[in-house]
Structure 1
Amino acid sequence: MSIVPAPVARQPWSMLVPLFGLVAFGALVLTSAAGGDFSRYASSHLLRFAIFFAMALVMTVFQKRFVKFVAYPAYVVLLLMLLAVEAVGFVGGGSQRWLDIGPIQLQPSELMKPAIVLVLANFYGTLPMGMVPTWRSLIPAGALIGFPMALVLLQPDLGTALAIGFGGAVVMFLAGLPLRWFVGAGVAAAAIAPLAFFFGLKPYQQRRVFTFLDPESDPLGDGYHITQSKIAIGSGGISGKGFDQGSQSHLNYLPEPHTDFVFATMAEEWGFIGGIFSLVCYALILSWGLRVARRTTDRFAMLLAAGMTATIFFYVAINLMMVMGLAPVVGIPLPFLSHGGSSMMTNMICLGTLMMIDRWNKSTPRSGLIT
């Protein structure tokens, strides 16, 4: 008889160990970002993780039938909440993205990221395979993605809109839509990009694109954020300057050192070694998510698992590219390291869903191909 209790042994430790490592490392980095003050950012970071991890554990007991049942109602409720944001939403940081609900301020667009994956996985999971490569599968899915993206762009929040579109596109691709449709969509997007840039983006969003293309042209103006981020990352060297020794963040050169640019804060103090540790942890979490998707026995669970993994990947990839000057600044935090309740909630919903599907896989014997 094993000395480890069965409920503990059944947990996906290949994902949980790197997750706990990232969260603990994040608390350390956030303590430094606050000048050594644990209570300013790190304590709430750990508290939020504990709350949302408990939520993820509760999600693992959900049955597949229940998850499918709530897919469309949840999507409709969130769509109505996005409409409510436009009507009575709370304005913060120049954007109207939040709803005041009693003691909390809720950002419905964050919840729409996993919700769009869920509703599309349900749509394609119940669609006959013969209908997948037809317009009858494309138009409804395009509408499901297009409505929330349009509402989020009105807030305006380009980063979240792109995240919704990315998660939806991954599900559509894995569902079996013809590759030529995605190529055509890419060509069409490239063709209308100039019009979207000049007439669809706000002036500050246009400046972010120009800054991304040539940040050194205005290092003290629009290029300041990316320039300081590169300086912080580069100055860390191999092993970093040491805990609580980062000059860029402590002297207020680095913008948002505890949220969007937390990786730069970490890299300055922990160097290349800290960066590699973070990347390895993310790689382990994402590879576990892909394994969960591959082990599924039905199309709905496969699309749901792959879409949730893709959503986490989008957060990580865009944030890292942003702080390194490889992508425009779009305000996407780094999962499990950045301080922020909305990001933690979304990513823990994704992980909770993956843990739920992992339990489905273990309780259902494999019977061959995914149907």
Structure 2
Amino acid sequence: MKLLFKIFLRSVTAFDWPLMIVLLLLGATGLLVMHSAVGGTDWRYADHLRNLLIGLGVMWVVAMVPFPYILKLAVPFYVLGVVLLLGVEFFGSTSKGATRWLNLGFIRIQPSEMLKIAVPLMLAWYFHKRESTLKFYDFFVAGALLVVPFMLIVKQPDLGTALLVFGAGFCVIYFAGLSFKLLIPILIAAIVGIGGIIAYQEDLCKEGTDWVVLHDYQKHRVCTLLDPNNDPLGKGFHTIQSTIAVGSGGVYGKGYMSGTQTHLDFIPERTTDFIFAVFAEEFGLYGGVTLLILYLLLVFRGLAIAIRAPTHASRLLAGALTMVLFVYVFVNIGMVTGILPVVGVPLPLLSYGGTALLTIGIACGILMSISHYIPGNES
């Protein structure tokens, strides 16, 4: 009876309520805009509602697990993720030119999604173990732990997921004490590279030009970002139509279920990657700013949990997971508004997609576990 009472008490107190309230508001907004995007309550709306409930349920379960037990799963979770990525490399299913899925017979999974959690968890565990004897070479070991899954995901190819995995892992390494001075040469090289692409885009974006380090579809996305009107009915169609929808919403929006770009089928992938265009068209600038405020509150709450976290590992992991949520939002809205290339990153709690909602649920569950974690009180 005492054990049951402790389980019940933990289930009641598992939620971090400031974080939970923001998530519920975003989830409700997602259901609202999905209803408009699909034009009613068809199977996609029902699936999104189911996936949202599953994601929240998984979050609740993870939130009840004491953080030390979550940290103990770091190594097996990471190893399993890398093994599954190798399985994709040799036995994966290919669709639309990309090999990202692994058919296990009873279920078809996308292993790269689990690395968004497994990589920062593994790195937090590693730095936790090395906290008292941390040396410079430990950052090289951590870099290797990050690069292995990153390169396997890039090879699929899945640049969007690879960047999210890299961002999550890099945040842990940086928060663990990596000197900013070491990043200056990389930043300079990136600025020079971007400047060179912009300056010589006419030659670099010609058909047949090989960029060596990027696949053709990735090169086309960069070139489309620079000038989507080069192929307005092809590669530039997504960017052009989404920016038209966002701009046509104006200050007040066209009204719920009244978006012409949405309901005349001009917005591509309007239930997934480009759902923000649907929202912005119907709710305008005021709606878009309100949504951004909700996401900022989500990020601020995550950072507050990271700052108050009682151990080194919990601070590293909470900070990294919060930055992953930030990158989700920044990249998605950036590509919809035409300031970033289209890389296939969903908008948290709004975009259709069960795997992404499950990943976000696990991440938020870990944040909640950290928020009420008191060392020495794990039982």
For the criterion TM > 0.5, the same-fold answer is yes
Q: Does 1:302 align with 2:315?
A: yes
1:294 alignment partner AA? I
Alignment of 1:211-360 (within 5 A): 211-360=224-373
Change in Cα spacing, 1:80 to 1:252, as seen in structure 2 (3 Å) is: same
Alignment of 1:74-85 (within 5 A): 74-85=77-88
Q: Which residue of 1 aligns with 2:148?
A: 147
2:111 alignment partner AA? P
Aligned-residue CA RMSD (Å):
2.3
Deviation at 1:100, TM superposition (A): 1.7
Q: Distance in 2 between matches of 1:19 and 1:322?
A: 23
Deviation at 1:231, TM superposition (A): 0.4
Change in Cα spacing, 1:127 to 1:25, as seen in structure 2 (3 Å) is: same
- Aligned residues, how many? 357
Q: Which residue of 2 aligns with 1:169?
A: 170
Change in Cα spacing, 1:149 to 1:10, as seen in structure 2 (3 Å) is: closer
Deviation at 1:131, TM superposition (A): 2.5
Contact preservation (8 Å) 2:310, 2:373: no
Q: Distance in 2 between matches of 1:10 and 1:226?
A: 41
Contact preservation (8 Å) 1:237, 1:272: yes
Deviation at 1:7, TM superposition (A): 5.8
Aligned partner of residue 256 in structure 2, secondary structure: coil
Q: Distance in 2 between matches of 1:9 and 1:360?
A: 11
Deviation at 1:94, TM superposition (A): 2.6
Q: Which residue of 1 aligns with 2:101?
A: 98
Q: Which of 125, 130, 145 in structure 1 is aligned with 2:128?
A: 125
**Does 1 or 2 have the higher relative contact order (CA < 8 Å, sep 6+)?**
2
Structure 1 window deviating more from structure 2 (122-131 vs 242-251): it is 122-131
Structure 1 window deviating more from structure 2 (296-305 vs 216-225): it is 216-225
Q: Which of 77, 88, 92 in structure 1 is aligned with 2:91?
A: 88
Q: Flag structure 2 segments of 5+ consecutive residues without an equivalent.
A: 1-8, 198-203, 205-209
Q: TM-score, normalised by structure 2?
A: 0.88
* 1:221-267 Cα shifts (integer Å, max 9, x gaps): 32211111110001111221122221112222111000000000111
Deviation at 1:68, TM superposition (A): 2.5
Q: TM-score, normalised by structure 1?
A: 0.90
Change in Cα spacing, 1:292 to 1:235, as seen in structure 2 (3 Å) is: same
Q: Which residue of 2 aligns with 1:137?
A: 138
Contact preservation (8 Å) 1:23, 1:46: no
Change in Cα spacing, 1:350 to 1:244, as seen in structure 2 (3 Å) is: same
Aligned partner of residue 211 in structure 2, secondary structure: helix
Deviation at 1:79, TM superposition (A): 0.1
Q: Distance in 1 between matches of 2:357 and 2:268?
A: 20
Aligned partner of residue 352 in structure 2, secondary structure: coil
Contact preservation (8 Å) 1:120, 1:141: yes
Deviation at 1:160, TM superposition (A): 0.9
1:83 alignment partner AA? L
Q: Which of 110, 113, 116 in structure 2 is aligned with 1:110?
A: 113
Q: Distance in 2 between matches of 1:363 and 1:277?
A: 40
1:155 alignment partner AA? Q
Change in Cα spacing, 1:218 to 1:95, as seen in structure 2 (3 Å) is: same
Alignment of 1:199-214 (within 5 A): 199-214=212-227
Change in Cα spacing, 1:191 to 1:139, as seen in structure 2 (3 Å) is: farther
1:301 alignment partner AA? S
Percent of paired sites with the same residue = 39
Contact preservation (8 Å) 2:120, 2:321: yes
Contact preservation (8 Å) 1:239, 1:271: yes
Q: Which residue of 2 aligns with 1:367?
A: none
Q: Flag structure 1 segments of 5+ consecutive residues without an equivalent.
A: 365-371
Change in Cα spacing, 1:235 to 1:41, as seen in structure 2 (3 Å) is: same
Change in Cα spacing, 1:142 to 1:188, as seen in structure 2 (3 Å) is: farther
